[in-house]
């Protein structure tokens, strides 16, 4: 149970990357007052939590509805997570990539904060893979959802304290942490692929 909770927490912390969200939040809220910054942070966190909860509850149902075996989705999801991890390690860091897509006309809380910064493609895949009905009980899935919400809450706290935190880590610090998270995520992704292959071929 503890191992499952720890795995869920580490996976979600890696793919959501609360620390990497700090410079993104600072950039998109640079021109707003402190009260509006709090509103944006809360809205972004609530939206991301809602999106991920949706996929935790209905993700596997949607996959089954289009007749995709879950082991094959797990393999594909693991490969996508691995490629996502590679972009975190070798490509642009999370802050650099997401700031490049910033559009002032967009709702800043929704884009790029809620999606794709918090509820990233990697986080959505992780939400589905970590709540497989045939593998995890309702209790396990509920605890996984709690771990996801805990990471989102941490991200919210980081956004609210972003100005103070950014003084210590800066863009370079956030980029380094993002790459370390990418390395951890790559290990999780490989484990998902190997597990999916084992289940699919009944090894």
Percent of the chain with pLDDT over 70: 92
pLDDT band for position 163 (50/70/90)? confident
Distance CA 130, CA 127 (A): 6
pLDDT tens-digit map of 73-130: 778 878 887 887 787 788 765 556 565 555 554 578 998 889 878 998 778 888 998 9
Please tell me the predicted confidence (pLDDT) of residue 191.
84
Q: Once rounded to an integer, what is the mean pLDDT over residues 143-166?
A: 94
What pTM was computed for the model?
0.77
Distance CA 102, CA 125 (A): 24
pLDDT tens-digit map of 26-45: 878 877 888 999 999 999 99
Please tell me the predicted confidence (pLDDT) of residue 95.
56
Please tell me the predicted confidence (pLDDT) of residue 169.
83
What sign for the dihedral angle of Cα 201, 192, 127, 44?
negative
pLDDT tens-digit map of 181-201: 778 878 878 888 898 898 888
Collect all residues with Cβ–Cβ distance below 8 Å to 133 and sequence separation of at least 6: 60, 141
Q: Under the phi-then-psi rule, with left for phi > 0, alpha for psi from -120 to 50, and beta for the rest, what region is 17?
A: left
Counting the structural domains of the chain, the total is 1
3-state secondary structure 54-101: HHHHHHHHHHHHCCCCHHHHHHHHHHHHHHHHHHHHHCCCHHHHHHCC
Structural domain span for residue 55: 2-200
**Do the beta carbons of residue 75 and residue 63 sit within 8 Å?**
no
HSE value, Cβ hemisphere, 13 Å, CA-based, for 187:
9
pLDDT surpasses 90 at 144: yes
């Amino acid at each position: 149970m503890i191992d499952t909770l720890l795995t869920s927490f580490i996976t979600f912390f890696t793919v959501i990357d609360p620390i990497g969200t700090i410079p993104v939040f600072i950039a998109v809220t640079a021109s707003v007052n402190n009260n509006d910054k709090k509103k944006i942070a809360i809205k972004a966190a609530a939206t991301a939590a809602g999106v991920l909860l949706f996929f935790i509850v209905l993700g596997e149902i949607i996959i089954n509805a289009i007749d995709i075996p879950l082991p094959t989705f797990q393999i594909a999801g693991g490969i996508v997570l691995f490629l996502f991890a590679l972009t975190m390690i070798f490509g642009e860091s999370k802050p650099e990539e997401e700031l490049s897509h910033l559009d002032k006309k967009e709702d800043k809380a929704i884009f790029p904060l809620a999606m794709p910064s918090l509820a990233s493609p990697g986080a959505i895949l992780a939400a589905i893979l970590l709540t497989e009905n045939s593998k995890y009980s309702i209790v396990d899935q509920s605890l996984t959802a709690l771990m996801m919400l805990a990471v989102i809450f941490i991200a919210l706290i980081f956004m609210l304290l972003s100005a103070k935190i950014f003084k210590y880590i800066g863009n370079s610090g956030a980029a380094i942490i993002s790459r370390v998270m990418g390395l951890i995520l790559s290990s999780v992704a490989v484990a998902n692929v190997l597990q999916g292959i084992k289940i699919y071929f009944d090894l």
